[in-house]
Every structure is written in structure tokens, then in C-alpha cells.
Amino acid sequence: MKAEGIEKYKVEKLKDAQSRVSELERAFQQTKTGIWEYDTASREIKWSPEVYKIYGLSQNSTPPHLEEIIRFSSKEEQDQIHDTITMAMINGTPYSIFCEIEDRKGCRKYIRATGAATKDESGAVRRLFGTICDLSDHQEKQKQLLFTDLTIERISEGIYWFDDKLRFIRVNQAAADLLGYTKEELMGKRGLDINPSFSFEKSRALWLETKAKGSLTFNTIHLRKDGTELPVEITNNIILWEGKEFKCSVVRDITERRNNELKLLKAYNEIESLKNKLEKQNSYLREEIKVQYNFDEIIADNKKCKQLLKRLEQVSRTSSTVLIVGETGTGKELFARAIHNLSDRKDNTLIKINCAALPPQLVESELFGHEKGAFTGATNRRIGKFELADKSTLFLDEVGEMPLDIQAKLLRVLQEGEFERVGGNEIIRVDARIIAATNKNLEEAISNREFREDLYYRLNVFPLNPIPLRQRKSDIPALVSHFLKKFEKRMSKTIDSISEETMEKLMNYDWPGNIRELENVIERAMITSERILELGEWLPVRLPDHSGSKFLDKERALIIEALVKTNGKVSGAGGAAELLGINAKTLESKIRKLQIDKRDLHQ
């Protein structure tokens, strides 16, 4: 029974030892460390699972012989490793070897192999045992740290590291070179020593701002060791490492940049000075050019025309709706284009539509677009003019010819800035400025129920009335010169002169077709003339009786005369309406139509 107890005790001790070995192996596995044992007599090798893993071998395979294990290492190291292990086997000398191996799968690894020996009673080495640790990750990190350190030292920007008291704890070589110190001389110095314009409180405030923002870049002046100033750009960063905050500054020499900026500033000031001088010298000339040539081919030297162009320029700076009412050929489209080109919408295309040129059934589709299948022939969705004019200007020419049902839809766009495509139910919002033009008397059209009164007042926010050519004949010479240059370029021919007789005929003609008629006459004359402009039969010698135009001029003169007599009073007792024997509202309508204002009463 005693022998059985002893045997049971041995088994328990063996199990306990095996359990401890298993725990030790698990602990080693966490550090990528394996355990090995070598019997010198039987030459048998035992490995823990981690050693198999390190050498890239299957745990089911038999561990290779010692000589084969040594061949896992590089050829340059094999002899030294063999000698070290041989000495351990002979003398029992402990060893520790660091080497590079290539495992069975072809992966390169860094390992540390340690070994120790046990001897028998005769002193001979009976057994070797030890560990093999995979240090590849650690070695890779060491390489990365070495590379990072090398990069920091080779980089052209200076780098400082500070402690909580803003003392240097490390600088790279570039920083030392910028400041003219050695790296050792800077250790222990404070940031304030190289930046005397800063106080400790100001520096601390900058670092607090850096912490709040993540990084902070600013310019300042550093003081070199020799006392000279160094303009620098600094980027501050906060680095957390092992629970501590470190302050790091990247410093760049901006001497060249600052010198270039000073040169640019000096050059800019010189240019600005010259610009101001030229502006003062040419202010009168620029004003004349602005009046005559800054309105897209609108040639105007007449006093009333200049006043009209001034109003045009004023309204162009706004987004107000403009209604241009004038006779045929007075340049209504040119006015619209000039307003657009002088506005802040000029970078977008002016969208135009002639309301009189389209069949009534197509005007709605042209303005608002249509969906696919909205009507016969609508095979695709079409974008209308209003959508195209979003953030731009829409010019509605001959708006007086627009059908009444479309006028209602146009009114909605003007009021609410929204519409639906024909055949659609999606509400489309647009920001389009409206410029409308007509040669029609819209007030008469309202009386005849041909034009909506509410739409008229929506369009007539800012009225412009181009002056007929017969009322601005002083502009005819300039207009003739303009058209000659235009057609000379187009026809590749030159007109050297215009006879006084020709110019007199042009000045005496009433021009019922206004500037467009004048342009056509000059073009015809250019075709048939050589060197000297001859009108030929293109302009009748006897002036035609344009009774309509003459009647309006006479009517205008009578109204002005009546207003002068009544000191500008229109309605009521003693007013111009009573003097002329007409209704006061009718007279007010005629005053607007004939463009009579207070200035006309003092001519």
C-alpha cells in the first residue's frame, strides 16, 4: 500500500508539473516565444507549438535535426551559430543568439535563441533547453523608428520639442542650423530665449489655442545666436505620448518669401499710384466714352439720350423689371442687352423671345417648356425660356402681342417666381430678371381688353422710352460714322468721305423707321457707292408726309404749351386738361406716352 501511495504521489506531481509547463507555454505564446529541448545522447529535439509556428512548420511534422535548423539562418551566420551551440554542448556554456532566418514558407524573421545545459554526475552535458522568441515586429518597429529619426534629422524644416516649462527637450539639425547653435547648446534653453518678443503668458496662450484647434500656424521673428533676426513661419502641434503632452513646433525660414512679398507690395503701390494718376488725368475722357460707347452700340450725344442712358445704367445695377416702350427701330433690344451686360447677371446668357414671332399655341411651351407627351408632337421634355433664364435675364420682345391666357401665367411668374411646364405638375422656381419691350400703346390695349392691366403694372416698374431719331437728329452724323465702319469691315470696302449735300438730306429726313431705317439706307448706299457715299435714289428728295409722326409732335407741343401756361398743373380748375378741353386722366396718359417731363416745360 505504501508503494501505491508513492506512485500516486508521483503521478500527481507529474500532472502538476505538466500543468505548469502548459501555463508557461501559454504565457510564452503571448510574447511569440517557444520552448525547446535537445537530448545530446539520442539527438532528439522537442519543440513547443510556438517554435513550429516560428519556423513555419506543421506541428504534426517531426522537428528537424540541429544541423538542419541552423540552415534556416543566413549563410553568413551559420558557422558562428554552429560554433556557439557546439561549445554549449561540450562545456554547457549558456548562450543567446540574435539572427535573421527564413522560415519554411519563405518569410524572413528576426529571432533570439537562448540555451542552457544540464550535466550528469560525470559532468557531461546531458540535455540542452531554451527559448526561441520571434522579434520580427519589434525589429520592424526599431527600423521604423530609425527611419523616422533619420527623416527628422534630414528634413529641411526645423523641429523643436518643448516640455511644460517651454524648454527645449529636443531639436533636429535643421533647427540648430537655422538658429546658429549646436543641438547641444539649445538643450535646456527656453523658447523665449530665441523669441524675445514673446512673454511666457503669450506663449502659453498660443499653446492653449493650439490644443483647442489641433494645430496653429503663425509668423514671428526668431533671434539667432549672432543676434540677427530670422523671420519664420511656425506650425504648433500637441503630441500625446505615454499619457504626457509634448509641444512640437515645425519652423520654416520665410526670409525669401517676406522679401518677395515686400517687393510685390512695393510694385503694387507703384501700380496703384500710376492707376490713380491716370484715372485723375482721364476722368473727363472716360466719362465721355462711357456715355457714347459703353452701351452696346448705342450711340448718343443728344442731351435727352444721355439722360436716358444714365437711367439705364442706374436700373442695370438692380434686379427690377424694366418696360421699354418705343417706336419701331429705336433700339429696344440694344437697350435690353445693355441693361443685362451692365448687371451682375452679365456672366450668364441673355435669353430672348419674340412674342409676336410665334403662333399663339406655341408661346406657352416656348416660355415655360413642356413635358414629354404634353401635346401632339411633344416627343421629348423641353426646357422653356424661363428655366434657361434662371440667374440671368429674360427679354420679352413685343410683349404687347402676347395672348391673354399666357399673360395670366406670366403674371404668376412675376408675382411668385414659379410656374409649371405644359403637361406637368412640378412647381419650378426661377430667379429671372424680366425686361419687356413693345411698340404698342399698352394703355390703349388695356382699354380694348387686349392686355391685362395687372400685368401692365407688374411690367411697368421702371419704364424706359427710347427717343425717336427725328427728335435727336444731332446724333445722325455719329450714327452714320458708326454704320460706315460697321459695313466697311463687312464689305471690305472703304468710304473716304460724305458730301455735305448727302449729310443734309440725312438730317432733313424724318426717319419714320428710326435708326433701323437709317442703318438700312447706309447699307444700301455703301453697296452702290465708291469712295464717296452717295444716297442715289434710296432716300426720296421730297420729304414724305409722315402725318402720324408730325401729328404726335404737334400734339406734344400743344400739351407742353398748355402745361407752361398752367405752371405744370394738369387737373382741376385752371389745369391744362381744362385748358385743352380733355379729360384729366386722358391728358395724364398722353403726357406719359409722349414722354413729357418737367424739363420740357423750361426749354
Span 30-85, pLDDT tens digits: 678 888 888 888 888 888 888 888 888 888 888 888 788 888 888 888 889 888 88
Q: What is the pLDDT of residue 457?
A: 92
Q: Mutual orientation of helices 332-341 and 303-316 as an angle, nearest 10°? A: 40
Q: Which residues of 282-292 are buried (b: 16+ CB within 10 A; e: fewer)?
A: eeeeeeeeebb
Distance CA 217, CA 236 (A): 6
**Residue 266: DSSP 8-state:** H
Q: Mutual orientation of helices 584-593 and 547-565 as an angle, nearest 10°? A: 120
Q: How sure is the predictor about 277, in pLDDT bands with cuts at 50, 70 and 90?
A: low
Distance CA 556, CA 592 (A): 11
Greater model confidence, 143 or 504 = 504
Matching residue, cell 543641438:
183
Distance CA 480, CA 474 (A): 11
In contact, 363 and 547? CB cutoff 8 Å: no
Distance CA 524, CA 507 (A): 17
Average pLDDT over residues 7-34: 60
Q: What is the pLDDT of residue 510?
A: 87
Distance CA 486, CA 498 (A): 16
Spatial CA neighbour of 118 closest among 85, 95, 88: 88
Each residue of 351-396: pLDDT tens digit? 898 888 877 778 888 888 888 877 877 778 888 888 888 899 999 9
pTM for this prediction: 0.45
Q: Parallel, antiparallel, or unpaired for β 95-102 and 108-119? A: antiparallel
Count Cα atoms within 13 angstroms, Cβ side, for 443: 12
Instruction: Pick from 7-11, 252-256, 297-301 the range whose average pLDDT is largest.
Output: 252-256
Q: What is the pLDDT of residue 30?
A: 62
**Which string of DSSP letters, residue by residue, matches 363-429?**
HHHHHHEE-TTSSTT--S-EE-HHHHTTTSEEEEETGGGS-HHHHHHHHHHHHHSEE--BT----EE
Q: What is the pLDDT of residue 280?
A: 44
Residues in the chain: 603
Q: Please say if the pLDDT value at position 334 is more than 80.
A: yes
**With 0-12 CB in 10 A as exposed, 13-18 as middle and 19+ as buried, what is 244?**
exposed
Distance CA 27, CA 32 (A): 9
Q: How sure is the predictor about 279, in pLDDT bands with cuts at 50, 70 and 90?
A: low
Range from 51-55, 495-499, 524-528, 594-598 carrying the lowest mean pLDDT = 594-598
- In whole angstroms, what separates CA 554 from the centre of its chain? 59
Cell triple for 506: 440725312
Percent of the chain with pLDDT over 70: 88
